[in-house]
Amino acid sequence: MTTKPLNVLCIGAHPDDCDFQISGIALKYRALGHNVCFVSMTNGDAGHFEMGGGALAQRRYEETQAVAAAADLEYIVFDIHDGELEPTIEVRKRIISLMREKQAALVICHRSNDYHPDHRASGIAVQDAAYTVIVPNIVPFVPHVRRAPVVGYMYDNFTIPTPYIPHIAVDTDDVFERKVDLAHCHVSQVYEWLPYSEEKLEQVPPASDEPARRAWLAAGLRKRFEGVADDLRPALIRLYGEERGKAIKTAESISISEYGRQPAPEEYKTLFPFF
């Protein structure tokens, strides 16, 4: 690893977005001694069918802190209502301040074309902060950084207006079970809200049978990320070689944004020290 740890900032819209999309890569950064901070730009207070408001926000905050403890990373949750995130100047300033305070070398976020309005808003907010983070007279009371971070996007399969480009694809087979453990912390989502929203609630094993619940969750996540690996297969072969690239079962990805600083070719090994 580098002599100085990287500071990696992963910014999602909700208190489980980073966990689902990028936690395997985050675990790999932590294993190499780099610093990782997850951020949820909303408090998640709408993501349920039987509860909401402050009680749900508190529950979901506690779930994020369980993830933080399990993954040995920091997890910050903004107190903005779920479903009401907008890329306002105030929100942009909060992102600028956070990027500066964390001295982020790499910021990973949603793209601004996505199914969820909060995802889109968070992607725009990060993009809007990606250059202005270096401007001293914007948020002047937080010392500016001299070098903007590289911005990367979490994987998605949306094609309008532009398809996702997997510049970096990472084998997560060796951390997959830990990734399931992190998702397992989000009880309100993985065993309640998401199955309800997908009309699969009757498939969830009872809370009294935690091993069966976790096995059910693992099977669903494995199927999902095997599909992601298949989508990323050309990139995996490019980065790992044909034999290993074809054998990888689960994967995550980062697409380098045009809106952040463009890394020089020699920086890739420092920013993405997995290969």
The predicted model scores a pTM of: 0.96
List residues bridging with 169 in a β-sheet: 253
97: domain range?
Answer: 7-271
Residue 236 domain-assigned? yes
Residue 1 domain-assigned? no
Residue 121 domain-assigned? yes
Place of tokens 């709408």: 46
Query: In this structure, what CATH number is given to the domain that contains residue 161?
Result: 3.40.50.10320
Residue 226 domain-assigned? yes
> Residue 120: what pLDDT?
97
> Residue 1: what pLDDT?
42
Residue 2 domain-assigned? no
Q: Which amino acid is at 171?
A: D
> Residue 86: what pLDDT?
98
Residue 40 domain-assigned? yes
* 70 touches 185 (CB < 8 A): yes
Residue 218's Cβ-side half-sphere holds a number of Cα atoms within 13 Å equal to 14
Residue 102 domain-assigned? yes
Burial 23-41 (b: 16+ CB within 10 A, else e): bbbbbbbbeeebbbbbbbb
Indicate the number of domains in the chain.
1
Residue 175 domain-assigned? yes
Between CA 45 and CA 213 the distance in angstroms is 24
> Residue 275: what pLDDT?
87
Between CA 236 and CA 253 the distance in angstroms is 10
Cβ atoms within 10 A of the Cβ of 153, count?
27
pLDDT tens, position by position, for the chain (275 residues)? Answer: 446 899 999 999 999 999 999 999 999 999 999 999 999 999 999 999 999 999 999 999 999 999 999 999 999 999 999 999 999 999 999 999 999 999 999 999 999 999 999 999 999 999 999 999 999 999 999 999 999 999 999 999 999 999 999 999 999 999 999 999 999 999 999 999 999 999 999 999 999 999 999 999 999 999 999 999 999 999 999 999 999 999 999 999 999 999 889 999 999 999 999 98
